[in-house]
Amino acid sequence: MKCEQIGLLVDKYQLTMAQTYFKNNRMKHTACFDYFFRKLPFENGYLVFAGLQDLLEMLVDLRFDERDARFLIDEGFDRQFVDYLRQFRFKGTIYAMREGEVAFPVEPLLRIEGNLIETQIAETLVLNILNFQSLIATKAARVRYAAGERTVSDFGLRRAHGLGGIHASRAAVIGGCDSTSNMLAAFHYDLKAVGTMAHSFVQSFEDELSAFREYARFNPDSCVLLVDTYDTLKSGLPNAVKVARELEAKGHRLVGIRIDSGDLAYLSKKARQMLDQAGLDYVRIAVSNQLDEFVIRSLIEQKAPIDFFGVGTRLITGQPDAALDGVYKLSLFDSRPRMKISDTLIKSTLPGKKRVLRYSNGEGGFLADAIVLDDEQQIDCMYHPFEKEKRFKVAGLHQEDLFIKVMENGEIIMERESVEQIARRVRERLKMLPAEHKRFEYPHIYKVGVSKRLMDLRDSIVKQFRRED
């Protein structure tokens, strides 16, 4: 999706650092940065990686126009540096997991290589796009897991964080939603758009039956009636039955009824009973109102005969976590490994150019991921990233390289995929993730390790800096 002023979609410190590099004539120094996260959202067992295609397209469009230049000069930036930015184009190379891949803490999801300035300026975009879309896609995958084969739609735009709702709707469909109420997202990303009516529509007529009849008159083949404006069982359902029969007489069928308040389990059971007794067993029941994966699971456990879930606020805002803690860290500078060193190993980063290998059993189920140095083709054993005494043998297991080159010299080289193709990948990959990693309460921790060479490289750098201290 196109965005104006894309060059200014950065934190100021990216530009203050870039200006310092420019003034010190460090533009041609090369760097490599990793994008990864340390903690899974929602106490989940996995993350759905989303936002890659949007990120790449925005990096292609990343430039500073005349208005940006005037603003930066007014902000006190050096004119020579601003002239450099006027000619700026991202020319880096990116390796990444495929969008829709399931991923886990510590392992890199994306690697950017290029000159020092371009890799630094890219940081904010990487974090803004990937953190948010991966968060929402993961939440949507949980909702889909709870709903099973029932239809799920994103109804969250009105509660979304401004225009972030456009990316959120894309991510929601990637994670598992069948459709969205968001027309702009549907237009940009070729998503299925759905919508019914609001209580205000019913209230704008003198009576509920008139409202239903008029809506059915102009929407005879896509009619879903909101039945809880006044009294779901005494008014809404009886009037919906009348309109359904009138549609049948004209050769059409009522698609469904929607309940947006009250005890959804109780009301949906009563509604199903009333519809079936009226010979309307084909009419579907949709529900909305503060749904999430836990409410949906509860409704299904209560055997509520619900066909369609409209999920809004808690999906589109990523509740209860609201943010993914993805980070962007330097791992290589002028071919020399770099790392951030912390008093606790878990806060230290992994040096060098890396990629991720995934190991599966003979039946295709995922077992473990290993972070290896880029020139390592195979390893026999991986080690726990923070507890060196723990190891896991991977020799003889099926191995898959999760990293592919997606951008070279600033040009996108991966094939463009539709949101549906990416969503299909999510479904396929989650089928290969054992069930114990997908449960909501205390999911099993997926094994992520490092190669012996990578572990030794990290330890040698730590020792070197501690000696210097």
How far apart CA 428 and CA 101 sit, in angstroms, is: 9
Closest CA to 396 of 360, 365, 370, 432: 360
Torsion of CA 229, 235, 236, 242, to 10 degrees: -150
CA-derived radius of gyration, the chain: 26
- Give the up-direction half-sphere exposure of residue 363: CA atoms within 13 A in the CB hemisphere: 5
Q: Which amino acid is at 107?
A: E
100 Ramachandran zone, left/alpha/beta (phi>0; psi -120 to 50): left
> Per-residue pLDDT for the chain (469 aa), expressed as one digit of tens each?
556 668 999 999 999 999 999 999 998 899 999 999 999 999 999 999 999 999 999 999 999 999 999 999 999 999 999 999 999 999 999 999 999 999 999 999 999 999 999 999 999 999 999 999 999 999 999 999 999 999 999 999 999 999 999 999 999 999 999 999 999 999 999 999 999 999 999 999 999 999 999 999 999 999 999 999 999 999 999 999 999 999 999 999 999 999 999 999 999 999 999 999 999 999 999 999 999 999 999 999 999 999 999 999 999 999 999 999 999 999 999 999 999 998 777 889 999 999 999 999 978 899 999 999 999 999 999 999 999 899 999 999 999 999 999 999 999 999 999 999 999 999 999 999 999 999 999 999 999 999 999 999 999 999 888 765 5
Cβ atoms of 312 and 156 within 8 Å: the answer is yes
